Amino acid sequence: MNLREYRVFFLIVTAVLALLAASPALSRLLILPQTDFFTEFWMLGPNHKAEEYPFNISRNHNYSVFLGIGNHLGYCGYYFIEVKFRNQTQPAANSFNRTPSSLPSLFNITAFVANDEVWELPLTFSFDYARNETLQQVKLRSIILNDVSWDMKNYTITKNSQNNDFLGNLFFELWFNNQTTGVSQYHERFVNLWLNLTG
């Protein structure tokens, strides 16, 4: 190699190293447009982790979970969470068809969440019910969510013959106010708890 070839090689290596050194600084200066607009929706257990969710519950005993929303829509989001309860035969929200449950909402939670911000709500709930072992049923009386009581007298849970449990499903559907249309619509997200009403 002659001196000119060393000089070209040295310039190429120097240019590559300079670009590598400058890339972190350039990435902070360049603002690329956001292309993914979405909302996160989650539920955490009582210890603020994705574990130890309530399952076997007792009458008039308090249980806790945390609901959370992460807004990445590019604007301030106006969200509604519809709290619903169903037995095993009633319709649930459908992830495949992206449709909400047709059941009425027991309780609505409203949240305004700024873009790229997180909103979280501690939620405490308990159920009042009566078990009838002869009929193998649980008749619900009420549910208390964050110290507010709702009548549940139209809800009955029949014993599951396979597992010998009384399963009910407490679920939370996420809705939002669409800024383009101005209409509230199902945001195709829900979280849920299966609860065995044990005693």
pLDDT tens figures, 103-123: 999 989 999 999 999 999 999
Determine the pLDDT at residue 17: 77
Query: Residue 18 and residue 25: Cα distance in Å, rounded?
Result: 11
Query: Residue 46 and residue 125: Cα distance in Å, rounded?
Result: 11
Determine the pLDDT at residue 1: 59
Determine the pLDDT at residue 25: 65
Ranges of beta strands (E only) in the chain are 38-44, 56-57, 63-72, 77-87, 107-113, 118-132, 137-145, 148-151, 156-158, 167-177, 184-197
Determine the pLDDT at residue 182: 81
CB-CB neighbours of 127 under 10 Å: 23
- Mind listing the pLDDT tens digit for each residue in 7-28? 777 778 787 777 767 776 666 6
Token pair 């002659």: residue = 2
With beta carbons less than 8 A apart as the criterion, state whether 73 and 41 touch.
Answer: no
**What is the pLDDT of the chain when averaged over all its residues?**
88
- Please determine, for residue 124, whether its predicted confidence score (pLDDT) is greater than 70: yes
Beta strand 63-72 with 38-44 is antiparallel
Determine the pLDDT at residue 84: 95
Q: Which CATH code for domain 38-197?
A: 2.60.40.10
Residue predicted with more confidence, 51 or 96: 51
Domains of the chain, residue spans:
1-32, 38-197
Determine the pLDDT at residue 180: 80
Give me 180's structure tokens.
Answer: 């383009």
Determine the pLDDT at residue 31: 62
Q: Rounded to the nearest 5 degrees, what angle is found at the Cα of 151, between the Cα atoms of 173 and 85?
A: 30
